[in-house]
Amino acid sequence: MNQKYPFIPTLLILLLAFASGTAWYLYGSQETISFVPNVQSAEQPVKMKQCCECHEKVCHQYTGAPHLRTLRKATAPGVLEKFAGKEVTLKENGLTYRFYEEDDALWVKCENYPTPVRIEWVFGSGLHAMTPVSLFPNEAGESELLQHIVSWYPSGKLGVTLGLQELAHNKTGVQTLGEVSSHAKTMNCFGCHSSYLGDVPGEIEPAQMITGVSCARCHLNGEEHIKAVERGEKDLKLVKWNQLTPIESINRCGECHRRSDQLEPDELHPDNELLIRFAPVGMSQSPCFLKQSEVKLADGKPARFDCTTCHNPHQQASRDPEVYRKVCLNCHSEQQDHAPVCSKESMQSQCLQCHMPPVEVHDNLNFTDHWIRIRERDKERFPEFQLNK
């Protein structure tokens, strides 16, 4: 046991097996097509390199996708240098946190905590943030994660971790360092940041672990698919996303990005700033989503609106607003059976500025609001809430 990190054993006790076969992914689900991510199963799923043998172009695109970088070791290239040798004094609690590299590991030291703490993993691709995490066993021997109170942001600055601002009021004990999650929540977090956790009961097997969201995380039945291709079968054993209904589609993304049915009805209102972070939830409340069946495209086909309408899941999302304006114009025009045009601005203007604006959720971070709507009407639609915007 490393004395610098007394509550982490040398052989880390990581995530215990899913007692219900990852049933936590599905609670409250209204999907008609079963979706069970096998993040911890008896057999390791197909690795990305196997997929690339046939899907080389898509794999080449995906190498730059943020989803592939959602879980990395703290000492990985592109991660370590963002923390090692840096320190920050949080304005939220006045405490100073110093990160440093020693013994081929990343450590953090806080003046109000007696010992340095080793950081094993980092959550986040870096597109929005990178949050260090440490793991330790609870009294029952189950692994629990410590989400550190300091994160790295694309501005290059270290700052308080999004969602832990209130925790900064605690200036003693382990909460000085961050938030300790229950075993169940620990499983949820690592389950969403990986594609496979290994099949060793009670822990992740690093040799088996597939970090990040690889092909197998969204495209299930990889082994059956490969066998079907080799046999030349017509049924390739994969459910295509365009075969899902729009709600099934956004709920697939929502397994990790949140679904509307995971929230209470009184939480689904535009005054709830927490929803800014949960794109599928906002989408599900948008008129564009709710009324898509009423719209036909120029070729006469019915409109379809889900996450993949605007975003290619195999590459990083575009930052060009013109890309999204053109998507809007597929449905909004003067044509018959189309959605109405904007009454205030030319359709050549940038739709996102008004209908999907960036919202500051943190000193170092903005999120695009995916609840697409005419914001002036919020007070009419939700008179019972004290709307901030």
pLDDT along the chain (389 residues), means of 10: 37 31 32 61 86 94 93 96 97 95 97 95 95 90 90 96 88 91 86 84 72 90 92 90 92 93 92 92 96 92 95 93 95 92 90 93 91 91 76
The Cα diameter of the chain in Å comes to 72
- Coil, strand or helix at 97: strand
pLDDT value of position 273: 86
pLDDT value of position 226: 94
pLDDT value of position 57: 94
pLDDT value of position 253: 94
d(CA 112, CA 97): 9
Q: How do the domains of the chain map onto residue ranges?
A: 23-215, 245-381
- From residue 362, give the alpha-carbon distance in Å to each of 45, 88, 154, 244, 367: 37, 16, 12, 35, 9
- From residue 228, give the alpha-carbon distance in Å to each of 15, 33, 231: 33, 21, 5
d(CA 313, CA 330): 20
pLDDT value of position 20: 31
d(CA 320, CA 27): 36
pLDDT value of position 49: 93
DSSP letters for 129-177? -BEEEEEEE-TTS-EEEEEESEEE-TTS-EEEPTT-TGGGG--SSGGGT
pLDDT value of position 5: 38
pLDDT value of position 166: 87
Strand partners, 365: 362
pLDDT value of position 28: 33
pLDDT value of position 30: 41
The structure tokens listed for 106 are 């990343």
For residue range 111-131, list pLDDT tens digits in order: 899 999 999 999 999 999 999
Q: Which uninterrupted H or E stretch holds 123?
A: strand 121-123
pLDDT value of position 34: 57
- From residue 44, give the alpha-carbon distance in Å to each of 223, 238, 295: 10, 17, 43
pLDDT value of position 201: 64
pLDDT value of position 200: 66
pLDDT value of position 22: 30
